[in-house]
Chain A
């Protein structure tokens, strides 16, 4: 080795970092090279100067200090243990499986609980059950009754209104004569005729659209419903009479035809009362009462019921 090569090894030799072989090679060169010996001496002197130049050796704070040092460090670690964000360590397998096990247990419990319920419920409905399910909902007695009653009441009321209104048309509308309550009058006449084997003629408007008068009447009646309760009682009674006449074995129906000019064109028997004499009296009574008067209605055919007490 020459001096340049030794120079590279000199620091390592000084620091004791060379292998035995390298150390021997350096030492062989140093023995015969004063220049390199001087360089090595410089290194040693420098290190000694640095070491000696150290102001003081590291002081020993004492046993008490070292004991308290450990204690202080561990105390600070414990005190700050919670806020320390420790890197996540893989948790033990059993902890990692907890969410999956919980889900599995939940599914298992759901199945176990639902099995008896599924067994209890039939897989298919019987025909009776299907019929029961698909059948329309049965009305209760009350609702059925009301449902049946209300239209009937409406029917009566409407019929009553129509009757009254028709009478009003037949009685009030005539231009030449004054208005006359027809049913009461007819009933009275029928009573009179009954005494002499007469017939009571009553007219009923066929179920057509209510006329303007009817609409007005209906309107007015609706307005004056509470107050006119007493007034409407009479027509109800008349209605009852009409029904009674219709249901009576001797009741019949007149067919009243009104022509295009509003004149009474023809009165025939629509339904016989069973007593031809009574039928004739009813036709004559009706004709005598209304012939020659002009009706507001045109081209209409009216069916007018009448009742007849059996002739003695």
Chain B
């Protein structure tokens, strides 16, 4: 039985408005005053997206769960510094991604996909083997990337974030996003040359 996955509309970032919605602004204002219920509603609104981004990097539910919770808690602690004139999601993603990347740095272990060999999507043994092998190589190629390149590639390719949002979340210029993305793609292409 295939495991349910998050739908795109649940994980992909919405079109980021320049101004936060009124209800979100209200919730943020209440959260800034220490209202945990209001912040809980924000958590409910963004938990899937934050979890997904984190999962893309750690490839582990337990770690993703822990990091997602920690990201929201840190966001609440730092919410006094949040400017209500800006949307919440880029700020929240930045906290989550920085936390995740720091976690990966500390872990110092190759990014291992627990589902790499366990859940092939085909029943044919040959194709299952090929699929597993392809996944392993792709995964290894991405895991070899420096974090700065990897985070741009993941956010662009997996999360389908626009450059502007990546630049906003990572606090880097769009030109830097483009150059890092080009370098990341070039490096992965070199690694996966035989598969292309």
Contacts and interface: CB of A to CB of B under 8 A. Distances in A.
B2 to A, nearest CB: 10
Contacts of B72: 73, 77
Given A74-B36, A87-B81, A46 B181 contact: no
A69 B43 contact: yes
A47 B158 CA distance: 9
Given A56-B119, A70-B40, A89-B80, A15 B163 contact: yes
Contacts of B116: 55
A146 to B, nearest CB: 81
A81 interface: yes
A12 B178 contact: yes
A69 B47 contact: yes
A51 B158 contact: yes
B26 interface: no
B115 A50 contact: no
Contacts of A71: 40
Contact of A74 (B11, B43, B153, B192): B43
B37 A54 contact: no
Q: Is the interface of B mostly helix, strand, loop or mixed?
A: helix
Contact of A80 (B40, B73, B185): B73
Which of A11, A52, A60 is the most central at the interface, judged by chain B CB atoms within 10 Å of its CB? Answer: A60
B138 interface: yes
Interface stretch (B17-25, B54-62, B94-102): B54-62
Contacts of B156: 15
A234 B154 CA distance: 131
B189 A42 contact: yes
A111 interface: no
A59 B188 contact: no
A78 B72 CA distance: 13
Nearest to A89: B80
B68 interface: yes
B113 interface: yes
Interface in B47-76: 47-48, 51-52, 55-56, 59, 61, 65, 68-69, 72-73, 76
Contacts of A11: 178, 181-182, 185
A62 interface: yes
Interface string A37-74: 00000110111011111111111111000100111111
A17 interface: yes
Nearest to B53: A58
B174 to A, nearest CB: 9
A109 interface: no
Q: Which of A62, A74, A78 has the most CB of B within 10 A?
A: A74
Nearest to B32: A89
A16 B161 CA distance: 11
A305 to B, nearest CB: 108
B139 interface: yes
Interface residues of B, number: 54
A57 B158 CA distance: 10
Nearest to B76: A77
Contacts of B171: none
Nearest to B112: A55
A53 B55 contact: no
B189 A87 contact: no
A76 B70 CA distance: 9
Nearest to B192: A49
B5 interface: yes
A59 B5 contact: yes
A21 interface: no
Contacts of A86: 34, 77, 80
A49 B134 contact: yes
A84 interface: yes
Interface string A7-50: 00001100111000000000000000000000000110111011
Interface of B: 3-6, 11, 34, 36-37, 39-40, 43-44, 47-48, 51-52, 55-56, 59, 61, 65, 68-69, 72-73, 76-77, 80-81, 113, 115-116, 119, 134-135, 137-139, 142, 153, 156-158, 162-163, 178, 181-182, 185, 188-189, 192, 195-196
15 contacts: A16-B162, A49-B195, A50-B158, A53-B135, A53-B138, A55-B59, A55-B135, A58-B52, A70-B47, A73-B47, A74-B37, A74-B39, A77-B36, A86-B80, A89-B80
